Amino acid sequence: MKTMLVVAAAISAASAQAQSPNGRDKWADSARIEIEAATALGNLDRLRQASALLERALTALPDDPLLLHYLGYARYREATIMQGMKREEDEYRPLLEAADSLLERSASTLPLAESYAIRSSVLGQLIGSNPLRGMTLGRKSSSAMDRAVEVGPNNPRVWLLRGIGAMFTPSLFGGGLDKAEEYLDKAVALFSSDAPAPPMPAWGHAEAYIWLGQLHRRRDRIDEARQAYNRALELQPDNGWVRHVLLPGLDRAKS
Amino acid sequence: MITRIGILSTFVAASAAAQSDSAALRGVVRSTDGSAIEGANSFLLETLEGTLTDADGRFALRSAHRGAATLVVRRIGYRAVQMPVTLPRPELVEILLTPDAAILAPITVQAGRYTAGDERGATLTSLEVVTTPGAAANVNRAIQSLPGAQTVDEGTALFVRGGDYTETRVLLDGAVLLNSTQLRTPTGTFTGTVDPFLLDGIFFSSGGFSARYGNALSSIVDLRTQGRPDESSATASAGLAAISGSIAIALPRTTGIRAAGNRLDLGPFFRVNDSPRRYDPPPTGHDVSASATWRYRPTAEIKLFAIDQRNHLGVGVDEASFGGLYDVAVESDMAVLTWRDAVGTVSSWVSLSTSQLDEREQFGVFRLGTRLRSTQLSALAEWPATPSLTVRAGGELERTQSAFDGSIPERGDDVAPDARTTLFDSEGAGTRDGVFAEGEWRVRPALLVTVGARTDRSELTDERTADPRISLSLALGHGATMTAAWGNYHQVPDPMLLDAEFGDASLPPMRATQSILGVHLERDRLTARVELYEKHYHDLALLTRNNEVVGGGTGRSRGADLWLKWTAPLGVNARVAYSLVDAQRTDASSGIVTRAPFEVTHSVTALLERRWPAFITTSAAYRYATGRPFTPVVSATFDPQRSGWTPTYGPPMSERLPAFRRLDLSGSILRRFGPVQSVVFYTLSNALDRENVHTYRYSPDYSQRMPVRSLFNRAHYFGFSLTWS
């Protein structure tokens, strides 16, 4: 119901003002809030609603870079959740390909650090289970991340995504848990002073603790992991992944 | 009475539903294969009010808007649909979404069609092209691992479905490639022309191709070069027989350039690996290429691609009349300018190209110099007229200039230094024009029909041809699709055969009729395809063993192709291609219709690839092919006038060479060191060291027949590649 209200409010406001920058900001902000909530709940339907909202807005403002950014971001989140649900690659790969294209288009006119960082992550996921695909996409992924750091050296979302990427990259290829911890610690520190004005991207604070918690868990630092998860829940009380999966997992590990 | 109550209650229920539901518009969204589409974004263009479809593809759109409006339906992977509606609308709207050409086109199964690239649904990925064992990162050899391609010799020429390799037309960015293979020897060519790393996609049709493609009897290879690089990078590679380097520079404002150079020298390779043949010089060559791309809109691009190639080899050949070096040197270059854009709903593409080839061959008294130049203008436009009908039209204008000189022995089997020859030196030129139109019509959700026709006329044959073609694809459900195609195909004979001095200038265009029926099955981890085909040939231009040109040849070819691709657990991939062919055509020397010289009854390629942890990949490929037919020499008589033996030939194509068998193994390791990515690779070709026979040679009096073995015994090849980005 909340979704419907947000969408309806956005539509009624934006249909009249769609062509104005102010109208654009309302669309973008509504989508931003929806994506954040849907991601925390792992709710694919809400993510698709947010994407639908952005697609409609882009019909009125076809090349708006911020709307393109958020649509690319929503596609990336949808694909990530589907991967977590162990869906077939054929189902989520088109979403990643769409995200790649949207974020590239967005960054060509609005060079947001987040666009580059998310694109790096998207390309990393497109490599997926086939390391040979890394021959072409690996280069693109790392250069997108380099560009993200260049554009936003103190952007916590860049360091968050860099840290997540490092967790899944062998140390031979510049990743590893040590690097991941360094990046995630930096992200957490930067989030303390992160206050972007709407409708700019503001996600990731709770997520940084979630990934830091997982990193501690991998290194058998159960108490530190729990502390990080609890901090994530303080920031995002309805995060189902932490509440129903990660924290109970720690309890099982301790017992 | 019961009926009345039933009607009344239905009416009451319907009225109640209508009153309680304020939806201005209801609809259902389906894919062209009939399945419901969930999550399609359905909204009004005027107000941007909208909703998503449910699992049954249904939606109910609420809006206060009344009167004329525009309904938009979008879903990722499908073309958006826009249609006028009047609100409120009591009837259910049915919307059919067509898979988006840019994302899903390769999955649209068509008879005889295979693709390679990174797009979804491709038959082979780009990396599979590069890593096919024994393919040596060669496009032609990777295509040879697809069904329909026969292993006629050990070279890279493409013999498809019982046809000669000259019946395969190879295009690069839409322009015809004058030399699709390089480093020709009497038992095959060493390599293809285009480095796979320069390519973005490969389309291969083993038959039944659409009216878009003209001047080809059997098959089409359509190569697409890479566009603008996303980021700058540089690559250096070195192997036992080649060194190469390339650079890609992403410039600001959506432009980019690429350049590549490659130096081939098989000298070191032959020092490491034995060869049963002698070379002087060993195969050597180089090529340089460059491209510049300007993507001035996301959907629009201008690209200039140019390539220059040189190669030379001399290989020892022993014939009954002469033993010596077969020497061939080739210089070729090509430049292609392409433009593509999409304005509104019309996509258009134009290509302007020029290419030339200068080739010199010599063996004994046989000398042939060939100079070809082709200038070509091609254009294509595509218009989705309705959601279920796409119309394409286009054409090409090709100017071919040819010049031949040399000496041809009067008897094809006598190239001894004192043999009698015919000297010739001639030039010719002709223009071919061709236009086509076709419609791709989604008749029903599960049925796609493509109907088209083309007409061509070449000044060389002075005859206009008309080629109607039709193909259909019917989704049977559960991932199965039935395909069928029928069509007429014409091809202008090789300019040399039409040459006024050497050949016959009155030859008509060659003609083939193709019929194909197949089934394609697509499952999560399995792709399978079976196709049956039949081809009938007319007006074939043929060359006798004494190098005389004859026309009016006929023939037919029929067979079956099987393709299996399976992704197994633990990173194992398996591919199997099997081709069965029964082909007959006129034997030029005897005039008898008999087995075609490239009728390889069974061809099998089985390939297994395993990806291991630490980025190690290993693969193995096994190839088997029935030996090709040949006409044996059964006796010989001594000719005192020329002091040599004259062979007597047996029934044409009455014997076969021994079967071809070969196992290739390869492995690669991928590593990254900071900004540098490295690949180290190793290949063991012909691992079982089998001595395949590719032809026979005879003693001077023809009393003994000796097999001519493969160019390669068991051979090691290794190298590395470094990429900076």
Q: Residue B190: its pLDDT value, please?
A: 55
Tally of CA atoms within 13 A in the half-sphere of B129 that contains its CB: 27
Give the residue from B613, B513, B606, B597 showing the smallest Cα distance to B562: B606
Q: Can you give the three-state secondary structure of B189-223, one letter per residue? A: EEEECCCHHHEEEEEEECCCCCCCCCCCCCEEEEE
CB B553 within 8 A of CB B541: yes
CB contact under 8 A, B50 and A139: no
Averaged pLDDT of chain B: 83
Q: Residue B3: its pLDDT value, please?
A: 36
Give me the long-range contacts of B701-706 (CB less than 8 A, separation at least 24): B701/B320, B701/B636, B701/B638, B701/B645, B702/B320, B702/B633, B702/B635, B702/B636, B702/B645, B702/B647, B703/B636, B705/B632, B705/B633
Rounded CA-CA distance B323/A217 in Å is 75
Chosen for mutation from A26, A30, A53, A55 (greatest number of chain B CBs closer than 10 Å) is A55
Q: Residue B108: its pLDDT value, please?
A: 47
How much of chain A exceeds pLDDT 70, in percent? Answer: 87
Of A18, A97, A174, the CB nearest to B674: A174
Phi, psi of A160 (to 5 degrees): -60, -50
Number of helices (H) and strands (E) in chain A: give both, helices first: 13, 0
* Interchain CB contact of A127 with B (< 8 Å): no
Confidence of residue A5 (pLDDT cuts 50, 70, 90): very low
Strands B219-225 and B168-172: parallel
Query: Using one digit for the tens of pLDDT, what is the confidence trace for A151-180?
Result: 999 999 999 999 998 888 777 667 889 999
Chosen for mutation from A77, A88, A135 (greatest number of chain B CBs closer than 10 Å) is A135
Minimum CA–CA partner of A49 in chain B: B52
User: Maximum CA pair distance of chain A?
Assistant: 58
pLDDT of A10 over the 80 cut: no
CB contact under 8 A, B48 and A57: yes
Q: Measure B48 CA to nearest chain A CA, in Å.
A: 6
Helix, strand, coil share of chain A (percent; to 5): 80, 0, 20
Rounded CA-CA distance B229/B406 in Å is 45
Q: Measure B80 CA to nearest chain A CA, in Å.
A: 11
Give the residue from B298, B725, B610, B681 showing the smallest Cα distance to A134: B725
CB contact under 8 A, B670 and A133: no
Rounded CA-CA distance B373/B100 in Å is 38
* Interchain CB contact of B118 with A (< 8 Å): yes
CB contact under 8 A, A52 and B77: no
Q: Residue B672: its pLDDT value, please?
A: 72
Q: How many other CB atoms sit within 10 Å of the CB of residue A172?
A: 13
Q: Residue B645: its pLDDT value, please?
A: 87
Confidence of residue A131 (pLDDT cuts 50, 70, 90): low
Rounded CA-CA distance B68/A107 in Å is 37
pLDDT of A77 over the 90 cut: yes
Q: Residue B622: its pLDDT value, please?
A: 93
- Provide the b/e sequence for A188-205 (b: ≥16 CB within 10 Å): bebbeebeeeebebbbbb
* Interchain CB contact of B672 with A (< 8 Å): yes
CB contact under 8 A, A98 and B76: yes
Rounded CA-CA distance B276/B154 in Å is 14
CB contact under 8 A, B74 and A55: yes
Low pLDDT (below 70) residues in chain B: 1-22, 100-138, 152, 180-196, 253, 298-299, 344, 387, 524, 571, 613-614
* Interchain CB contact of B612 with A (< 8 Å): no
How many beta-carbon contacts under 8 Å exist across A and B?
A: 90
Q: Is this structure's pTM higher than 0.80?
A: no
Of B72, B231, B615, the CB nearest to A131: B615
Query: Using one digit for the tens of pLDDT, what is the confidence trace for B51-94?
Result: 999 888 999 998 888 888 889 898 887 888 888 888 888 888 98
Give the residue from B659, B681, B679, B663 showing the smallest Cα distance to B671: B679
Give A55's contacts in chain B (Cβ within 8 Å): 41, 74
* Enclosing H/E stretch for A167: helix A156-167
Beta-carbon contacts of residue A150 (< 8 Å; ≥ 6 apart): none
Minimum CA–CA partner of B672 in chain A: A173
Averaged pLDDT of chain A: 84
Strands B81-87 and B149-150: unpaired
Q: Residue B364: its pLDDT value, please?
A: 87
